Structures are given as structure tokens and as C-alpha cells.
Amino acid sequence: MKRIVILGATGSIGTQALEVATWRGYQVVGLAANQNTELLLKQAYRYRPLLVSCAPEAAQWVRQALPDGTRLATADEVAQLEADTVVAAIPGMAGLKPTLAALRAGRHVALANKEAMVVAGPLVWQVARAHGARLTPVDSEHSAIFQCLVGERLEDVAELILTASGGPFRTAPENLSAVTPEQALKHPTWNMGHKVTIDSATLFNKGLEVLEAHFLFELPLDKIKVVIHPQSLVHGLVRFNDGSFKAQIGPHDMRLPIQYGIEYPERPPVPLAPLPLLGTWEFYPPDLKRFPALALAYEAGRRGGVAPVALNAAGEIAVMAFLQGRIKFTDIPRVLERVLKRAPQVPLSWEAIAETDRWAREVALEKQ
């Protein structure tokens, strides 16, 4: 029986990872969450983990309400539990520290926190390799690319192609300045948290995925491409030097890449109906004029150093400001651009990441 830990247990990926655990009969030994303590406690009573973590302000209440045999701990302690796989699904920069704790403990990490690679990819690989840890991607697009690369040589790859649905505003309205948070949160394909959903509406999420692929697969940025595929059935493609392609195709169900990320290289059956290969599948180039946030991600990747750190931090602040009604939808890429233009040009290090993240959040809050 596999022993698993889920970091970000009450979020979209975390709850679906628990569904996979139920399918497969995994022993859930650790759960880390933030403030959704009601759901965390329900999960604790169902799965009876050894350790759970939550936001510090809720710790006293949660500690008293836990079932017998389950203890409260920090997210880092949960991440370091003896387990076959740690599903790293805490969103944003908050997920970096516990992800690193799992890697330093030599764990297999099924990575759903894209920010870990975006802001610190080379350093994350250093930690993983130094401690004999293993990484498999869980994001649907990166899982797709990972699956296409199995058995292939990276030197034979001409380009990696990430697909994007185009979000709710792919073609309309023409003027995006009056878009409301409620409209932006209505993603046409996927059910995700607020931050990822808004980023998908601006295509910034795809920009972060480009940076993630660049660092995760250690391929040059100019080999990472994006196409708009509204049907979201082809999740990723690889074009090889001889002109041939490999593609990964699947339904709109994140439980499949989650299970593959945990079980690789095995492919156990799932209790889902097979995908019917019917209908019209469309592919379009991204409109960078309409969605400039994608182009800004490429710019940050070309600049290197801490530029992706600054861009990522600015994105977190901009999305929060939009959801709170303090800026317009079209102001989000303007905040990203303003912070990126002023980002320091310094080499990547853990100290530089922390300092740049703090600086970029302060700058992003200006003029709001």
C-alpha cells in the first residue's frame, strides 16, 4: 500500500488527489492545508493521517478537534513524513518551502505547485539531485509533455507545445476593460482555484507554464511554444527534429495526471469512461496583443536571474487586487509589465529569491 502526503489538501488538486487515494487504496499519512479547517477536519476523520497542518491562527482549535492518533504539525513536518509520494499542491510562493522540505527528505514529489519551478527551477533541481529525490509533474500540460518524452532523448526534441483553452475571453468581449471577477472566474473547461482561474483568463497562467516547462525539462525557452486549443483534449505535444509529433490526449479530468504523477511508470486503470475521439478539434496561435501577459512571461524567462520571481510575485498581487475590485482586468498585465521593467538583474539564489519576492510585492502595490 502506497503512503502519500498531500500538501494543499483542501484545494482543487488536493481534493482530487484524495479521490485518487480512494480509488487506489493509498494510506494518507499527512495533510497540509491553510484556512479551510472545516474541510481539513472532515478529511482527517476520513483518512486518519498521522500529521496535519493548518494556518497558525486556527491551530489551537484544530488541535482540539483532531481525531485520536492525528497530531498537528507544521507544513514542513508534514512534507517530510515517511511516504512513497508527496503531492505538492500548495499554490503560490507559500508552496515552495514545504516542497523543498520534501525534496530534502529524499521524497518522490508529484509537483502541482508551478511556482517552485518558475521562481527557483535550477535551485530546486540542485536540491532534488543532492538528496536523491524524484520529481514528476502533475499539471495537465506538463504531465502530457512528460508522457510524450518517455523513452525519448532531449537532444532529439525540436519543441514542446503547451495547449491553452484560451479562457473565457478568447474571442469576446472585444473590450476587456469592463470584465468583472465573476465573469473571469467562469472558466469554460477546468474547475480551479481563483488565482489559477484568473491567470487562465489573462493567459498569464500559460506564461507561468512556459517558464515551468523551461526549467522542469531543462530545455531552451525558444523551444517552448503555446497554441490555443479550445476543446482542451490535447494537453501537450512534442515535435522532434525529424518533423514527427507525439501528443497526449485525455478528458477534462485532473485526476488522470494526478494518478500518473503518483504511479509513474505504472498506468493502473481508473473508474472513468474512455474519451470518445469525436468532434472538431481546433488550434490557433495565441493573441499576444489581446493577452500581453503571456509575452511578459517569455520576456522574464529571457532575462533570467530573478526576473521570473518578480513577475510571479507581481501576478499574485495583481490578481488579488482585481478580485478585490481595486484594479481593472486590463490592469493586471500593466502591473506585471511595470514590475518586470524595474526588476533587479541579479543572479538566482535563495537570498535573492526572498528579497526579490518581497520587493516585487511592494512595487506591485504602488499606484493601486
- Cell representation of residue 76: 514542513
Please give the DSSP secondary-structure letter assigned to residue 210. Answer: H
Whether pLDDT at 356 is above 70: yes
Q: What is the pLDDT of residue 92?
A: 85
237 DSSP β-pair partners: 161, 247
- Cell representation of residue 88: 505538492
Picking from 90, 109, 114, the residue whose alpha carbon sits closest to that of residue 162 is 114
- What DSSP letter does each residue of 13-40 carry, written as one string? HHHHHHHHHHHHT-EEEEEE-SS-HHHH
Which pLDDT band holds residue 224 (cuts at 50, 70, 90)? very high
Residue pair 240/219 in contact by the 8 Å Cβ criterion: no
Q: What is the pLDDT of residue 187?
A: 84
Q: What is the pLDDT of residue 368?
A: 62
Please, what is the Cα angle at 146 between 18 and 130, to 5 degrees?
85
Rama region for 325: left / alpha / beta (φ>0; ψ in -120 to 50; rest): left
Q: What is the pLDDT of residue 354?
A: 96
Whether pLDDT at 208 is above 70: yes
H/E segment holding residue 71: strand 71-72
Which tens digit of pLDDT belongs to each residue from 29-86? Answer: 999 999 999 999 999 999 999 999 999 999 999 999 999 999 999 999 999 999 999 9
Q: How far apart are CA 278 and CA 320, in angstroms?
A: 39
Residue pair 204/315 in contact by the 8 Å Cβ criterion: yes
Which tens digit of pLDDT belongs to each residue from 273-326? Answer: 999 888 999 999 999 999 999 999 999 999 999 999 999 999 999 999 999 999
Q: What is the pTM of this model?
A: 0.94
Q: What is the pLDDT of residue 277?
A: 87
Q: How far apart are CA 211 and CA 270, in angstroms?
A: 31
Which tens digit of pLDDT belongs to each residue from 134-145? Answer: 999 999 999 999
Tell me which residue has cell 499539471.
139
- Residue environment code for 144-164, b if the CB has 16+ CB neighbours within 10 A, otherwise e: bbbbbbeeeeeeebebbbbbb
Domain range annotation of the chain? 3-137, 142-252+278-291, 304-368
Q: Give whole-number Cα distances, 189 to 133, 141, 345, in Å.
A: 33, 14, 38
Residue 167, CB-side half-sphere exposure with 13 Å CA sphere: 26
- What DSSP letter does each residue of 135-175 carry, written as one string? EEE-SHHHHHHHHHHTT--GGGEEEEEEEE---TTSS--S-
Q: How far apart are CA 118 and CA 204, in angstroms?
A: 12
- Cell representation of residue 332: 493586471
- Cell representation of residue 34: 491553510
Q: Is the preceding omega at residue 265 within 30 degrees of 0, hence cis?
A: yes
Picking from 34, 68, 72, the residue whose alpha carbon sits closest to that of residue 51 is 72
Rounded to an integer, the average pLDDT of 188-216 is 92
Its CATH class, for the domain covering 3-137, is: alpha beta
Rounded to an integer, the average pLDDT of 194-220 is 96
Q: How far apart are CA 42 and CA 127, in angstroms?
A: 34
Rama region for 367: left / alpha / beta (φ>0; ψ in -120 to 50; rest): left
Which pLDDT band holds residue 189 (cuts at 50, 70, 90)? confident
Whether pLDDT at 170 is above 70: yes
Q: Considering only residues 368 and 209, tell me which one the structure prediction assigns the higher pLDDT.
A: 209
Q: Judging by beta carbons within 10 Å of its beta carbon (0-12, 13-18, 19+), is residue 174 exposed, middle or buried? A: exposed
Which tens digit of pLDDT belongs to each residue from 111-133? Answer: 999 899 999 999 999 999 999 99
Please give the DSSP secondary-structure letter assigned to residue 66. Answer: S
Q: Is the preceding omega at residue 308 within 30 degrees of 0, hence cis?
A: no
Tell me which residue has cell 469512461.
273
Whether pLDDT at 357 is above 70: yes
Which pLDDT band holds residue 193 (cuts at 50, 70, 90)? confident
Residues present in the chain in total: 368
Which pLDDT band holds residue 175 (cuts at 50, 70, 90)? very high
CATH classification for the domain delimited by 304-368, as one of 1.10.760.10, 1.10.1740.10, 3.40.50.1820, 1.10.357.10: 1.10.1740.10
